[in-house]
Amino acid sequence: MSTTSPNAAPLLVRRAAVLGAGTMGSRIAAHLANAGIPTLLLDMIPAGEGGRNRLALAALDALAKAKPAAFYESSLAALITPGNFDDDLAKLSQCDWIVEAVAENLAIKTALLVRVVPHLAPHAVLTTNTSGLPVKQIAAELAAHKQRFFGTHFFNPPRYMRLMEVIPTA
């Protein structure tokens, strides 16, 4: 994918993944589902009992109860597939857009992104949803993939926060 060519085809996001099932990651996944995009929601495997996908499943449960509502319609939750970083990274090869939304810790973000890169489709875009870390520092370990990596920032809750406001002049 060339970002410098004016003739480059636009990216069609048919499937996405969100890395991190915390407050922001889960709500970004819900926002993608609201747009009709099947989305993987992956997180780490927690210690103890309760299942390997426990964090992503708990996030889906919290989304169902969220106020204000995270989904346009509750049935859209079915577009989100829970998983974990150890078992499901290979599924990223089916995704067009992967959004990293883990803890605001440079070491955690870069370690995960380095694990993710081998599983990306050649056309896939990888973004970080950092709110405080310099994107350039996060990208330092991804030098060979700079053309497909950039920063995005969703405001919480993504479904309700306007990213642009139009102010009438009259």
Asked about 31 being catalytic, the answer comes back as no
- Report residue 149 CA to chain centroid gap: 13
Give the other-Cβ count within 10 Å of 30's Cβ: 28
List C-alpha distances in Å: 44 to 34, 50, 88.
24, 13, 10
Just list the catalytic residues: 153
